[in-house]
Amino acid sequence: MNFVIGLLAFILMLGVIIMIHETGHFLAARAFGVHCHEFSFGMGPALWQHQGKHTLFSIRAFPIGGYVAMAGETADEEDEDEDNWLKHVPEQEKLNHKPAWQQVIIMGAGVVMNFLLAWVLFSGILAAQGQISQDALPVVYEVLDNTPAAKAGLKAGDTIVKVTSEDGSVLEPETQNDVLEFMQYNHGVSTFEIERSGETIIVKMQPELDEESQVYLLGFTSQGRVRKINLIEAVGEGWNEMVSSTQAIVRSLGTLLGGKGLDSLSGPIGIYKVTDQVVSYGLIPYLSLCALISLNIGFFNLLPIPALDGGRILITLLERIFRRKIPMRIVQGVILASFAALFGLMIFSTYNDIMRFF
C-alpha cells in the first residue's frame, strides 16, 4: 500500500507541475493569437477529447506530462501536406510569424508558471504552519539510531538545560546550535542536565566525528521556533523562500558543471524514492517537495539547450539580433541532438539511482 501511495503521489506531483508549465504556454499563446491545435493532459492514447472553439482538449492514458501543439512551433510551411492541420491555419496565427518579443514571452511562460506555482506553495505553507526560524531550541525532536544520543537514552521532547565538559566548562544553551558549537571544542565525555516531563535527569554523552562533514555530532535533531505570520507576510516570505531555493539550485548546477557531485545526480527513480519518503511525513513536507521540484523543472527548462524553452528563446533572440532566420532543418537537427544529449543524461542519472537504491 505504501508503494501505491508513493507512486500515486509521484505521478500526481509531476503531472500537475508539467501541466501548470504547459498551461503557461497555452495561455500566453492564445493571448497573442497563436493557434493551438491541441492541449493535452498526459501522453499516449486519448481517453477523452473535447473540441473547443479553437483547441482540442485531451486527456491521455499516461498522466505524466502533457503538451500544447502550437501552429508554427516546429514545422515549416513547405513541410505541410494536404492532411496536415497546419495547412488550414492562417500565417498570422503561427508562432514563427509572431514578433520575436511575443515568441519569447510564449516560450518563457511555462517557466514563469513553474516559479509562480512554487511561490504560491511556499506562501501557503508559511501561512498554514508559520515561519520556522533557524535558531532551533535545544529540545530533542528526533533521535537517530546508533548515535551517542540514542545510547544515552535521549527521547523526543527532552530539553537540554546545561552541559558540563570534562574540563569543567559549563554551557546553558539557548539554541541547538549552542550545543553543536560546544561539542566542536569538547570532544570528551560531557555531562548533560536534561529536563523531561518536569523532571531533571543526568546523562553522559561523547560526540562522534562525522567523517563526511568533519563535524562532531550527538545524533539528535531539533526543530526551529515557529512564528505565526499573516497572509501578506507569508506572500513576502514565500517569495524569499523561492529566491533562496533558486540560488541553491544555481549553486548546485555550478558544482555539477565543475565535475563534482555527478554521482549524486538523481533521475526519475531518485525523485520517486524521495517522494515516497516525504509523503509519509505528511501533507506539508509533500507540498514543500512539490514546490522544489517545480522550481527545478522551471530552472532546467530555462537552460540554453535547444530542446528546452531556454534554447528556443536563445534561437529566437539570435535570429532577431542577426536579422536572419536560421534554416528549419538546422534548428530541428540541433534540437534532435540536444534531445539525444538529454536522453543520455536521463540514462546516466537513472543508472545512479539504480546503483544507489538497489
Catalytic residues: 22
Place of cell 502550437: 70
Place of cell 521540484: 293
Whether 177 and 234 have beta carbons less than 8 Å apart is answered as no
Distance, in Å, from the CA atom of 140 to the CA atom of 158, rounded to the nearest integer, reads: 5
**Strand spans (E) along the chain:** 36-51, 56-70, 131-132, 142-143, 159-164, 170-171, 190-196, 199-205, 208-210, 215-217, 220-221, 226-227
Residue type for position 114: N
Q: What are the percentages of helix, strand and coil residues in the chain, rounded to 5?
A: 55, 20, 25
Q: Which helix (H) or strand (E) holds 10?
A: helix 2-31
Helix/strand/coil for 139: strand
